[in-house]
Amino acid sequence: MVKGFKVYTPGGPEVLKYEELDVGEPGEGQVKIRIKAVGLNFIDVYFRKGVYGAKMPYVPGFESAGEVIAIGPGVTDAKVGDKVGCMGAFGAYAEEQIVPARALVPIPESVDFIKAGAILLKGMTAQMLLRKTFKVGPKHTILVHAAAGGVGSLLCQWARSLGAQVIGCVSSEEKARQATEDGCHHVIIYSKEDFGKRVMAITNNSGVHVVYDSVGRDTFQGSLDCLATRGYMISYGQSSGAPDPFTMSILAPKSLFLTRPSLIQYTTNRDELLEIANDLFHNVEAGVLKVRVNQTYPLSDAAKAHDDIENRRTTGSTVLIP
């Protein structure tokens, strides 16, 4: 038996129950990994609260890094001792986890477990957003909400390296300093000024080509308003709640594009998964991306970590250590 968390009913951080788990042995096409680091992501909060449906009970967590300790029948592309990461499969909030071998990503020797646990899901999401959903380049001006968060920090760094003009939106002076360090040309503290008006002032009323919005309800309309003609509204999260219902006609005056991408749909086969992961780790090793692990907690303190991320007391990435 190993220790880990289960969720039996939706609710606040208190529904995370730390207990003994019977992980079992890997079956056909599966491997067992000993987890060294668990990435905390807002999607964990969404599932815990019941925003996204999950069959109860379940072991939460979608991002882990560790070492293969057992392989099941039919596995040919992994072996005991491999240093691997996994994203997109429930079960990371535990000391051990069984995952499909096809979901594993090799971790380079130069990247330690904590960095890998912090960056795998967030970094692959950033790659998808910048290189797949909309291909950002030197001619583009972008707005990144939650610019000091786990994904936001990576978006700002990566977009700056691609030559884009980067505007970051944050909630405090401390987060503004980090966003500047991460490559933002302009930083807006939304609690002090209207971000939409400031964006239009920065862009001489032309607007931005892309908005990366993980906030949702509180920023949705303002994000649409500050887009340029034929601009892209990329909504990839809803930390403030789901946007209010709207009619498609609001996109028509500027022929706007709106998308709600999911990394799962951009990694539908192993080739796609490895392409995105390899691009991510290449940029980490090249020094383009600085992995900000600003908070670590023992795995047993996952409830406190959830409370902190929900109440915006974190910056960069947060990692749980079994």
Q: Please name each of the domains of the chain with its CATH number.
A: 2-120+268-321 (3.90.180.10), 138-260 (3.40.50.720)
Q: Estimate the crossing angle of helix 270-285 against helix 113-127, to 10 degrees.
A: 120
- Return d(Cα 322, Cα 319) in angstroms, integer: 10
- Return d(Cα 48, Cα 82) in angstroms, integer: 31
**What's the average pLDDT block by block, 10 residues per block, for the chain (322 residues)?**
96 97 96 97 92 92 96 95 92 96 95 95 96 97 95 96 98 94 97 95 98 93 97 92 90 97 94 96 96 94 96 89 96
pLDDT for position 78: 94
Tell me phi and psi for residue 12, to 5 degrees: -80, -175
pLDDT for position 302: 98
Predicted TM-score (pTM) of the model is 0.90
What is the gyration radius of the CA atoms in the chain, in angstroms?
20
Residues 6+ apart with CB under 8 A from 84: 31, 33, 65, 66, 67, 68, 78, 104, 105, 106, 107
Residues 6+ apart with CB under 8 A from 225: 196
How far is residue 20 from each of residues 2, 4, 8, 25, 108, measured CA to CA in Å?
A: 5, 6, 14, 16, 31
